[in-house]
Amino acid sequence: MISREVRSNRVRIGFEILDLGTGKHGWLASVDQTLGPQVGRYHVHLMDLNSVGVGAILRAVQNFDIVAVDEIGPMELFSEKFRDAVKKALDSNKLVIGTVHGKARDKFVEEVKTRPDAEMCVVTCDNREHLHEVLIGKAVDFLSRTIAK
């Protein structure tokens, strides 16, 4: 599951959720929504988050060796189903590559960050162009160790 900005006439109007496995997408949050939890000027679309986002994570745990979660942030944390799906992914034997919003302050986020099996990479201006190479190397290493078992 990934989320990405949606812009109209150069103005950000919200965030879309995308299931990488199926291509299904929906809204994470938008300025047009009037219901749901509010983060800044955006209202979170809990139905789409729970169906598309949570569904993507759970399908990835069932069907793939790598689970991508972009991101664990303030908007996503309004959903208990999202929290449960992330926990299920982290407790699986799968490689989970996720992003955690830098300003997210939540007990669940701290639990994720401090897990003994978690490794944190902080994205900076200096490393962001090459961080994917580091992550690919770590993923290949992890998968080669788990396949060898």
Per-residue pLDDT of the chain (149 residues; tens, 9 = 90+): 999 999 999 999 999 999 999 999 999 999 999 999 999 999 999 999 999 999 999 999 999 999 999 999 999 999 999 999 999 999 998 999 999 988 888 999 999 999 999 988 888 999 999 999 999 998 999 889 887 66
Which segments of the chain are extended strands (E)? 2-8, 11-18, 25-30, 38-39, 42-44, 66-72, 95-100
Q: Is the pTM of this model over 0.85?
A: yes
In what helix (H) or strand (E) does residue 136 lie, and over which residues does it extend?
helix 131-148
d(CA 84, CA 43): 21
Distance of alpha carbon 38 from alpha carbon 40, whole angstroms: 6
Residues 6+ apart with CB under 8 A from 135: 97, 121
Superfamily, domain 2-118: P-loop containing nucleotide triphosphate hydrolases (3.40.50.300)
Q: What are phi and psi of 80, to 5 degrees?
A: -65, -35
Domain spans in the chain, listed from the N-terminal domain onward: 2-118, 121-149
Terminal Cα-to-Cα distance of the chain (whole angstroms): 28
- Whether 53 and 82 have beta carbons less than 8 Å apart is answered as yes
